[in-house]
Amino acid sequence: MNVIKTTIPDVLIFEPKVFGDDRGFFLESFNQHLFDEAVGRNVQFVQDNHSKSKKNVLRGLHYQLAPFSQGKLVRCAFGAVFDVAVDIRTSSPTFGKWVGVELSAENKRQLWIPEGFAHGFLTLTDSAEFLYKATNYYAPHAERCILWNDPQLNITWPEIDDVSLSAKDAVGLLLKDAQFD
């Protein structure tokens, strides 16, 4: 497993070793020991999620308030997405900064998004299936959303014709108005 650092030190890209031949491929998608070594602590995942989205669907930027904060290890098993992590740790030197990475079935990369980050993704292909491991259970009462196109964040999303949002994502808050604790 190749670990790639991003511009925000706590957000990491995991690139698996893929063994392929004319029959297909094999890869190790998760190894607890290697993962913990890369992130520098023991991480326990308690929930796996799987979503399917059509092209131009944008989900996020979601997060949960403490003590329900979630770390996420995300990947795209079918299709491709542009995945974004935004640092919302108010005491962090990278507060309000973001990392964006293309995750696809082809590149098989995964992104580690620790607790204290908002997360979202945009589907780039006709369809995409997105998988993620979470360090805490989904808690609807603690869920919050930052507006995907907040000018303060200035996220450089890929150019698309028409973004498709859920009703709750369409009314996400600006970073300056968001609740973090």
- pLDDT recorded at residue 103: 98
62 is annotated as an active-site residue: yes
pLDDT tens per residue, range 106-118: 999 999 999 999 9
137 is annotated as an active-site residue: no
* pLDDT exceeds 90 at position 179: yes
Q: What is the DSSP letter of 167?
A: H
- pLDDT recorded at residue 181: 78
pLDDT tens per residue, range 10-36: 999 999 999 999 999 998 899 999 999
- The catalytic position among 63, 119, 132, 138 is 132
CA distance 98 to 70: 17
Cβ(163)–Cβ(120) below 8 Å: no
Helix (H) or strand (E) holding 57: none
- The catalytic position among 50, 62, 63, 119 is 62
Which residues of 44-175 form beta strands (DSSP E)?
47-54, 58-64, 72-78, 80-87, 98-104, 110-113, 117-123, 127-134, 143-145
Domains in the chain: ranges and CATH = 43-177 (2.60.120.10)
Quote the pTM value.
0.95
